[in-house]
Structure 1
Amino acid sequence: MTQTVQVSDKDLQTNVTNELTFDSSIDAAHLVVLANAGVVTLSGDVGTLPERHTARRAAMRVAGVQAVTVDIMVRDPGAFGAKDSDIAEAANQMLGWAVDVPSDAVTVGVRNRVVTLSGTVTRHYEREAAARAVMYLRGVTAVSNTIRLMATASASDDLKATIGAAIRRNAQLDAEQVEAEVNGTEVTLRGAVRSCAERRQAENVAWSGAGVTSVKNQLTVTA
């Protein structure tokens, strides 16, 4: 049975702020936390793009958070001296060295220190790996991942069964509360979970299915 966590917005704001401060990989001095009906909004600025993502994950793991909106800006990276052309060259090198990104499958574009990734791959993890490969480059303020997934013949006929079994095996999920509906290579998750972190975990499980090209996460956080 899914257990709900009742937390007031005031307490939620305090708890998320404390979590951000506790995480030593985040400089929370310039971050602002607001909470409204369980929805947390993070604003302010951080020094790097990975720090922005870390702040989002930190907020999502706090009990009682139903959703997280991120309005955090990455500070002007001019001090790094990185031009768009420098970033593009470095990004291509990183993608070329990444063993989990198919060779020559991803194209890089950079404008105003925003990296845009395009191309086609056959696995979701390859698309995610491409974004990770360029996220940690100096000067990058955002990554726009427009890489498309191409359906392949490897999609299992019993995809619903295999995803359902994976959900049941996962210690972080209450399998009785999560249902995976499958239409071809598209998966829709329905049901209720106890936290944003659990919601994200269920989505990760669905994406791990061979041949999956789309995951619609319609799970609700009960709090």
Structure 2
Amino acid sequence: MKNDRQLQKDILNELDWEPSVDASRIGVEVSDGVATLSGHVDSYTQKWAAERVAQRVAGIKSVAVELDVILPGPHQRNDTEIAQAAANAIDWNASIPKDTVRLVVEKGWVTLSGEVEWAFIRTAAETSVRNLYGVKGVVNNIAIHPRVEPRGVKTKIEAALYRRAHLDATGIVVDVKRGTVTLTGEVDSLAERNTIEWAAWSAPGVQKVVDNLVVAN
């Protein structure tokens, strides 16, 4: 089992290895397996990527992101410009049905709302605006309201986890009630936890996923 100093070193090395992140302005502290990222980055994309980098380090239980997004002068945008660019990005994304997603921009933060049938559409909308110049953060309030009746969801999720060799290895319990999936059990890393949660979201009829998975010590 790695101690906090070893975990800190692993995250710093992983940040240095990640080409999409400028690690020189990111500080890392680890306490009891909980990593805190501090400092500043040039874009929300880098902030998001840095969080994912920390999550994929084995032994990290959770990640607190205290990174500030400070945009370089040439990339400054006012809210109107960001809103127009975000609307265009969503409109041009073939994965997002027309007129299903609404957005509001305030001080560089984009808030998404609306209703869609699948989680992948919700994710596609967030991805569309995350990489735009001027964006400092994204709040995704898009609701999932599937038309498909949630039948056999538990079996389908368990089959997906077996295909990924997760369920047999970690003893994950999947409970489904009225379109809400609750996941419990232990996983080896935050990255594995994210993969399992996404497998649950991918089942037809799922409206909500309650992630009670715990990263093993």
TM-score (normalizing by structure 2): 0.95
**C-alpha displacement of 1:190:** 0.5
Per the alignment, in what secondary structure is the counterpart of residue 79 of structure 1? helix
The answer for the alignment partner of 1:52 in structure 2 is 47
Q: Is the 8 A contact 2:43 2:71 kept in 1?
A: no
Asked if 1:214 corresponds to 2:201, the answer is: no
Unaligned runs of 5+ in 1: 1-5
The answer for the alignment partner of 2:187 in structure 1 is 193
Per the alignment, in what secondary structure is the counterpart of residue 63 of structure 2? strand
Amino acid paired to 1:221: V
Q: Is the 8 A contact 1:174 1:193 kept in 2?
A: no
The answer for the alignment partner of 1:182 in structure 2 is 176
Deviations 1:129-149 (A, max 9, x none): 001111111110011111111
Q: Is the 8 A contact 1:122 1:150 kept in 2?
A: yes
Asked if 1:33 corresponds to 2:33, the answer is: no
Deviations 1:158-204 (A, max 9, x none): 11111111110114x24342111100210000011111111111101
Q: Is the 8 A contact 1:178 1:190 kept in 2?
A: yes
Per the alignment, in what secondary structure is the counterpart of residue 149 of structure 2? coil
Distance of 2:58 and 2:152 partners within structure 1: 35
Aligned length: 216
The answer for the alignment partner of 1:145 in structure 2 is 140
Amino acid paired to 2:11: V
Distance of 1:32 and 1:65 partners within structure 2: 16
Distance of 2:103 and 2:145 partners within structure 1: 19
The answer for the alignment partner of 2:59 in structure 1 is 64
Distance of 2:70 and 2:76 partners within structure 1: 13
TM-score (normalizing by structure 1): 0.93
Asked if 1:16 corresponds to 2:8, the answer is: no
Per the alignment, in what secondary structure is the counterpart of residue 71 of structure 1? strand
The answer for the alignment partner of 1:95 in structure 2 is 90
Distance of 2:55 and 2:140 partners within structure 1: 22
Distance of 1:157 and 1:146 partners within structure 2: 25
Q: Is the 8 A contact 1:78 1:139 kept in 2?
A: no
Distance of 1:122 and 1:100 partners within structure 2: 11
**C-alpha displacement of 1:208:** 0.4
The answer for the alignment partner of 1:3 in structure 2 is none
Q: Is the 8 A contact 1:192 1:221 kept in 2?
A: yes
Of all paired residues, the percent bearing the same amino acid is 37
**C-alpha displacement of 1:78:** 4.5
Q: Is the 8 A contact 1:155 1:212 kept in 2?
A: no
Q: Which moved more, 1:190-199 or 1:75-84?
A: 75-84
**C-alpha displacement of 1:157:** 1.7
Match of 1:121 among 116, 123, 128: 116
The answer for the alignment partner of 2:160 in structure 1 is 166
Distance of 1:36 and 1:203 partners within structure 2: 25
Distance of 1:159 and 1:12 partners within structure 2: 37
